[in-house]
Amino acid sequence: MKTSLAFWLAKASAAATVLLVIEAGASAAEISLWVESSGGMILPDRPAGTLQQIDRSGVRNQFVTAQLGLRAGKDVKEPCSFDWTALEASGERIGRENVVLFRGADIVVDHGQKVSESGDKARARAYGSYPDALVPLVDREGRNVANRITLEKDRTLLFWIDVFVPAGTPPGDYRGRIALKSGEDEVAAIPVKISVVNLEIPADSTIPSLFNLRLHKHVADNLDNYVAEVMRHRIQPTNYHYVDYVRDKRFGWAMLDRLNPQGNGYVNVYYYHTGGLAPEKARALLDGLREVTAHLKERKGSRSRSMTSAVLR
C-alpha cells in the first residue's frame, strides 16, 4: 500500500519538532546554576556545585547573603538575564526591592605577590582573574545596569545576593525564587527561603571600620556612594585622616561631617611609626580625638553614642 505524501510530510514535521525539543533541553542542561556560601571566593575555574537552594536565617535590619555560581558547558550565543520575586510568608512579604543581585566584576592580576607560597599560601596567588567589585544587575530606579550575561564555555561567573530584612518584618519563613532566563524562556531557577527570627538589630551604623582608599579619580568620584553603601550595612566608615582634617584650617569640620553624616562618632585612629610615637605627636593625636568626640556629641546631643579609640603602634 502506498503511503501518501501528506503522511510523510506530517511524520517529518513531527521529527523536526522532537529534534527542536531535544536541542532546547540540551542547551538548558549545559548551563549550571548553583548556590555557594557568602564566605568563599568563586574563581573562573570553579566546577559546578550541587546546592540548589538558598536557605538562610536572619533578623530585622540585617542583610542576609549568599552567592550564585553560573557555568556553561558550551558557548551560549544568546545572553541571559536574572529575574527574581518578592519573598512571602502567610500574607507577609519582603518586597522584591529588598532582594538585590550583583555581578562579581573580575580584575586581572598580572603581577606577582611578594609573598612565598610556603609562608602564606592564601596570599601567594597565581596570575589570572579574581572577583573584585560587585556591580548591581539593576539600579535602585529599576534600570538595567549589568543584567545582560554572556556565558562562555567552561568559565564560572559569580553573582552575589543581598536580601535585606526590613524593620518590623514579622517572624516566619519567607519564600521566593531567582530565575535565569534566556529571552522569555527560563533556563534554571533557585528557590529562596529566609527564616526571619523575632529579633531586631539597630538600623544605625554601629560597627567601626578603617579604610584608606587611594585617591584615584574614580575613587574620589564614588566616595560618597561607598560611604552610603557601607552605612546601609550598619558599618561606620572611619579614617585616621579625620584627626588631621579637623585640625587643618583648610578642612575643619566640613570633611568630618560629610563623611560621618549620622554623627555616631566612631573614630578609629591607626598610627604606624617604626620608631615609636613621639610625645608631641601623641599629644596632638589625643587632643584631636577629644575635639572630634566633643563635636560629635554636640551634634548628637543626648542621643550621642560617640566612641573614639586610638590604636597606637
pLDDT of residue 42: 92
CATH topology of domain 29-113+126-200: Immunoglobulin-like (2.60.40)
pLDDT over 70 (residue 45)? yes
Which residues, including other chains, have CB under 8 Å from residue 134's CB and lie 6 or more apart? 102, 103, 104, 105, 160
Domain ranges for the chain, please list them: 29-113+126-200, 207-312
**Binning pLDDT at 50, 70 and 90, where does residue 122 land?**
low
Helix (H, G, I), strand (E, B) or coil at 60: strand
Instruction: Answer for the pair 160, 65: CB distance below 8 angstroms, yes or no.
Output: yes
Beta strands in the chain (DSSP E): 31-36, 54-60, 62-72, 81-84, 87-89, 92-94, 99-109, 128-136, 157-165, 172-182, 185-200, 207-210, 235-238, 266-271, 307-312
The larger pLDDT score, comparing residue 244 to residue 274, is at 244
Name which residue leads in pLDDT, 215 or 290: 290
Q: Which grid coordinates belong to 7? A: 503522511
- pLDDT score recorded for residue 270: 47
Nearest residue to 186 (alpha-carbon basis) of 58, 3, 27, 61: 27
The per-residue pLDDT for 65 is 96
Residue 248's pLDDT is what?
A: 75
Q: What is the mean pLDDT of the chain?
A: 77
Q: What is the pLDDT of residues 74-84, one digit of tens each?
A: 888 899 999 99
Contact 34, 69 (CB under 8 A): yes
pLDDT value of position 301: 62
Q: What integer pLDDT is reported at residue 253 of this predicted model?
A: 78
User: Which is higher by pLDDT, 311 or 47?
Assistant: 47
Q: Lowest-confidence range among 35-44, 63-72, 109-118, 260-269? A: 260-269
List the alpha helices (DSSP H) in 161-252: 217-232, 241-246
Highest-pLDDT range among 99-113, 246-260, 282-296: 99-113
Tens digits of residue pLDDT in 125-179: 677 788 888 999 998 888 999 999 999 999 999 999 999 999 999 999 999 999 9
Percent of the chain with pLDDT over 70: 67
* Burial class of residue 218 in the structure, from the number of CB atoms within 10 Å of its CB (0-12 exposed, 13-18 middle, 19+ buried): exposed
Alpha-helical segments (H) within the chain: 5-29, 217-232, 241-246, 253-259, 279-300
